[in-house]
Structure 1
């Protein structure tokens, strides 16, 4: 009623109302460039014209570069910009049952570290996956090269205000996944060294494993930036097992909630994962404590049986 009355009043005063569809293509494209990924995808459902304009590769290319500035260092994306964005953003669905396999000879990591929205570190590097030692050693990727030392920032920073994006790409299969939760799931200060370890994690496979990126900070420095895959036993998975988990994340679905809600879900899921890991550790410790008691009991019973059997043995010999 109010909209109809406003339109009638505008017509009476000679004012022509302009709808979104009345705008020229170049104006609509500029509007679409200012939307985020979910909003841009939704705009394509409004009309056939908006569907065509919102699917322009240049718009999705700019969106990918604004979301992950480090991507500008790549010669090309592993797939079309729109497909790449849909696979890399937002986070993989935790507890999915999709089965995937990393088929590339190298994993490409695109790492971007932010502090309060400002990019402070970025790097693109490759990790070989087909060498014999990779499949049977603990999976660990270091973003900071040992010979480069620590990453020193110009001013003091709050570890809790760090944000991390860690894209892992399988270029051969044209798949990608962001294994970082973007915002911290845990901030753990070390009482002795004074260092602070900030963890970003994505849990996969019904909490049986998690990809965990850790940023170790001290003073004005980032001293370590690494990613690994661990299970509920607290064990770092080997390369071959980790590739299976990463492949599952790449092949799984994506969640479409807001970034803030996604970060909260990632924190809750990681808390559940840590709780399972703690319970597994307690059961292992209890089992280890009970083992000596069982052995001593078995030994005592064995000795008692031997002592009791001796008189019977000698009596039988006398017969």
Structure 2
């Protein structure tokens, strides 16, 4: 098969191959086609092809900051596509030994793209300074938009039942969040791409569409504690008018619902970029949603277990205090 492919392409003019064949392939097809033979590999590794594919897939990469980081990667856009597509789905980290964690990079670069029915409606690139005093000890949190920024879109709030509108957004509003480490020259897409949940905020009634990716955190004894990257897109607007995006943020939480610090989050992301499994998410998003719901159930169980333990400790403390009071009264009466 590989020999036939090489023979066929050897008879074609290079301009025909580049203009009429390779430029019509998407990234996944081009990567598969490159493995057919040494000839197709040579034809499919041209950086201009991969630059076109990356920009078509993630328009945010046109940003000068993102372009500069990509230019430092070993194979520029081809390296980025290999790291960022498909999304980081799940991985188990097994440390080789008690080696100290690497120092955090000076900054992380986030390239964020929101799509409606496959058409980009919002693109942002965010630099996160990881060496600021507030970042490392506080919760790992990255905002793609500036404070008080509201981004208009071409999406119209349809006149339909609320449940139908939420389901419509869950099915049609997709998101990519690529995190790049300029120091280690690696990247990963930490979004499930398809939404795992769409709901109304209980107080503001704004629409919150969420995307999630589960990954391995720190070792806890013989097991690996899991964490979850959650991207929340907050939308506002009126029926019949345009939908506006008011907030897009990335947070990391553990399976007890607790906060993951910036320092811990950077280490987890670095390990994920190097060891993470890139797995194609099913088109209907069922698998990603099942993982999110499973993680949420685990979080509820652990919270309930913590509440029971705290309640038991309170009861024991009250009993000890009561016994101490009785003992004090008894001794005082002697």
Q: Same fold (TM over 0.5)?
A: yes
Structure 2: state its 5+ residue gaps: 1-6, 96-100, 158-167, 217-223, 238-242
* Structure with max Cα Rg: 1
Could you say which residue in structure 1 is the equivalent of 2:307? 285
Distance 1:104 1:298 in 2: 50
CA RMSD of aligned residues (A): 2.5
Question: Is the alpha carbon distance of 1:271 and 1:194 closer, same or farther for their aligned partners in structure 2, counting shifts above 3 Å?
Answer: same
User: Are 2:23 and 1:23 aligned?
Assistant: no
- How many residues are matched? 293
Q: What TM-score do you get using the length of structure 1 for normalisation?
A: 0.82
SS in 2 for 1:32: helix
Distance 2:190 2:281 in 1: 17
Q: Which has the higher strand share?
A: 2
Question: Is the alpha carbon distance of 1:176 and 1:255 closer, same or farther for their aligned partners in structure 2, counting shifts above 3 Å?
Answer: closer
1:24-173 alignment to 2 at 5 Å?
Answer: 24-29=13-18, 30-74=20-64, 75-76=67-68, 77=70, 78-79=72-73, 80=75, 81-97=77-93, 101=102, 103-147=104-148, 149-157=149-157, 158-160=168-170, 161-173=172-184
Could you say which residue in structure 2 is the equivalent of 1:276? 298
Q: What TM-score do you get using the length of structure 2 for normalisation?
A: 0.79
Could you say which residue in structure 2 is the equivalent of 1:14? none
Deviates more, 1:182-191 or 1:59-68: 182-191
Could you say which residue in structure 1 is the equivalent of 2:98? none
SS in 2 for 1:260: coil
Note the C-alpha offset of 1:154. Answer: 4.1
Deviates more, 1:294-303 or 1:84-93: 294-303
Distance 1:154 1:58 in 2: 31
Distance 1:154 1:38 in 2: 29
| Aligned counterpart for 2:193 among listed residues 168, 182, 186 | 182
User: Are 2:231 and 1:208 aligned?
Assistant: no
Distance 1:66 1:42 in 2: 19
